[in-house]
Structures are given as C-alpha cells and as structure tokens.
Amino acid sequence: MKKTSSIIMLITSIIIMTASAQKKEVSSTEKIPYQIVSNYFVKNNFKKEHFTNPKITTQKDFDALFGAAAFMGKKGEPTAINFAKQYIIAVTIRETNYITTITPVSLKKIANKIVFTANVSSAEKTTSTTKPILLIAVNKKYTGKIETKIEEKKQVPNGLPISSQWILESFNADFQLITKNTYITLSQDLTTFTGNGGCNMIKGSLKVSQNKIKFSKITGTEMFCPAMNQESKFTSLLAIANTYKINGAQFFLYQDDKLLMTLESYR
C-alpha cells in the first residue's frame, strides 16, 4: 500500500513539474515591437546569399552594406535609423529575376534568443535581377542572440502570383454581372483555391503546370441569392478551364484557345 502511494505521489510530482516547466516556457516568450526600414538596397560588393550576422549595430557597418534609394513623394525618403537607440536586423535571399517580397511575420524573445520570422513570396518574372532585402529596426533594450527563420515559397510558374485574390471582371459572353463578390484566391503552394461564387463560399483542388491550370473537386455552401445564375456560370467555367494567361493585373482563363472569363487582381 505504501509502495503504491509512493508511486502515485511520484507520478503526480512529475506531472506538476512538467506543467510548471511548460508554463515557464510559454511565459518566457515575449513579442518584440519593431519598425520596418524602407528604401535601401544591398550594395553590389555584397556577393553572399545571406548575411552571416543579421544584426547591425553601427552606421559604419550599415553603410558598408546598404545604399539609400530615395523616391519621389512623402514616402520616398529612406527610413531614418538612430543607432544610439536602435539596431538593425537584416534579411536577404539570393538574387532573383522574379518580383519578390520578404514579409515580416513576427519578432519574439524566446528564452535568451531573439527570433525573427519572415516569409518570401514571388510573383511575375521580370527582365532584370534584384536582391530582395528586409530591414527592421529594434530597440536596443531587447538583447539576445539573433536567429532568423525565412520560409521561401515555391517560385511561381509563368509568374502566377502566390496567394492572390482574383475578382471576376467579365465573362466572354453577353452577361451582366450582378455582383463583384465573385472571386478566387489561390493557395501559396498552388494546390488548392478558395473563393466566393457570388452567393456561396467555394473551394476546391488546383493544379498548375506551365500555362496549364485545372480546377477540380469544386464544392460550396448552398445559400440562395439573386446572383445564383452568375455563381453557376462562374463555377461551371472554372470546371472546364484548362489554360491561363496573365497580362499585368488581369488573369485570363481559357478552355484550349477559347476565352472563358477575365479576372482582375485585388492586390
């Protein structure tokens, strides 16, 4: 009996210690505010794919890596940096000929580390090569070893934008649109899509290869509204679309060489 009680007490102690450790780990995570630093570029003498040390603490070290890129207008001036109170966390990737954006996700203090997470997304292909960067300014009171986590998304075939919302502009037929609430949003990995037919939310599978595209397994809710004819036409044309083309902010869906519909980018 005493042996059984001892085992129960031991198990209880382990559970309490584990819960306490987990609580401590959660409480040791702190969100850190930051400021995005805009209108700078990486100098041509920097040939590496990534920064060896993402933390920059002096104006001299910053100027050795970056140049200012001023543009017309109020938002065209390079962001001012006060190195007496701030340091910079810099992120870059390899050179690319796609329009590429590095987007901040979070900056957190986890135990004795400062972890900066960002996503990379690519859109249309261009004729020039650039080296994308993301710079953020952080208050010097936040100390710790800097760790960056950069998730690079798959580059998009033929410039098909990742996670873009495309709104129906017109059918290739004499059809008066009732609502502009007819759209599709392509997933980042280009395997699924979601959207709205005009009345109901829709979703399905997606397959993209070169200029070929296939929407399948299209399902949705079943609410009635005045735009039901528009929704029915939209989903039926999605189901037979097999090729696409993008021109600027317009997305054209075809069945072979026959234009089915034109959509426009929400971005």
The average pLDDT across 117-123 equals 82
pLDDT of res. 159: 54
pLDDT of res. 202: 95
Query: Closest by alpha carbon to 120, among 49, 192, 212, 29?
Result: 49
**What CATH fold (topology level) applies to the domain 159-265?**
Lipocalin (2.40.128)
- Report CA-CA distances (Å) from 91 to 50, 117, 256: 7, 10, 42
**Which comes out higher in pLDDT, residue 264 or 114?**
114
Whether residue 243 contacts residue 212, with contact meaning beta carbons closer than 8 Å, is answered with yes
Containing 90, the helix (H) or strand (E) segment is: strand 86-92
pLDDT in tens, 130-187: 888 999 999 999 999 999 998 866 545 555 555 578 999 999 877 889 888 999 998 8
Residue ranges per domain, the chain? Answer: 30-152, 159-265
Q: Say which amino acid occupies 139.
A: N
pLDDT of res. 103: 86
pLDDT in tens, 18-30: 555 554 444 578 9
According to the per-residue pLDDT averaged within each range, which of 18-22, 41-45, 47-51, 213-217 is highest? 213-217
Q: Band of the pLDDT at 237, cuts 50, 70, 90? A: very high
pLDDT of res. 25: 45
**Secondary structure in 3-state letters for 169-181:** EEECCCCCCCCCC
pLDDT in tens, 59-108: 999 999 999 986 655 567 889 999 999 999 999 988 888 778 888 999 99
The average pLDDT across 217-228 equals 90
Q: Band of the pLDDT at 218, cuts 50, 70, 90? A: very high
Q: What angle do CA 37, 123, 259 make, to 5 degrees?
A: 150
Task: Name the residue with tokens 């609410």.
Answer: 223
Task: Name the residue with tokens 């001012």.
Answer: 80
Q: Alpha-carbon torsion 25, 27, 28, 31, what sign?
A: positive
- What is the rounded distance in angstroms from the CA atom of residue 68 to the CA atom of residue 80? 10
